């Protein structure tokens, strides 16, 4: 898989990752991060905080992210408050970032694109 492809990341699907591969190199991470809206590098993770009008909208978003996670079999850490949710991705099996993290982040962005 070409990690530097400019094709829409959200149209791709995660691949199983059970370790044994290196995390993405910093230049690749920087390129992929530029293709996402509002995500930032935090240590070995990418993260974004989403803000909502109320708790109901926040929980609807959390459930939608859970659906993406289930479909892609790649799960984020989520910190949920009354009207916000911070989503963090990294690939535990490799101790850093993989294509899967960026694919899922793009799919989460797409949830709110309407």
Q: Residues 61-104: pLDDT tens digits?
A: 999 999 999 999 999 999 999 999 999 999 999 999 999 999 99
pTM: 0.89
Q: Is residue 38 part of a domain?
A: yes
Contact predicate 5/34, CB 8 Å:
no
pLDDT, residue 39, reads 98
The answer, yes or no, to whether residue 6 has pLDDT greater than 90, is no
| Alpha-helical segments (H) within the chain | 26-34, 55-72, 99-111
pLDDT (0 to 100) of residue 96: 95
40 vs 21: CA distance, rounded Å: 23
* pLDDT at residue number 37: 92
d(CA 75, CA 66): 8
Q: What total number of domains does the chain contain?
A: 1
pLDDT computed for residue 7 by the predictor: 53
Residue 9 exposed, middle or buried by CB count within 10 Å (0-12, 13-18, 19+): buried
Q: Which domain holds residue 60?
A: 22-111
Establish if 50 belongs to a structural domain. Answer: yes
CATH of the domain at 107: 3.30.1360.20
């Amino acid at each position: 898989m070409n990690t530097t492809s400019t094709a829409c990341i959200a149209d791709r699907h995660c691949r199983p990752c059970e370790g044994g591969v290196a995390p993405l190199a910093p230049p690749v991470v920087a390129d992929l991060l530029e293709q996402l809206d509002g995500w930032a590098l935090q240590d070995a993770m990418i993260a974004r905080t989403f803000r909502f009008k109320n708790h109901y909208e926040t929980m609807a978003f959390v459930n939608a992210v859970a659906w993406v996670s289930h479909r892609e079999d790649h799960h984020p850490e989520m910190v949920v408050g009354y009207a916000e949710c911070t989503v963090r991705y990294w690939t535990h099996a490799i101790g850093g970032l993989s294509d899967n993290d960026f694919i899922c982040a793009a799919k989460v962005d797409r949830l709110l694109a309407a």
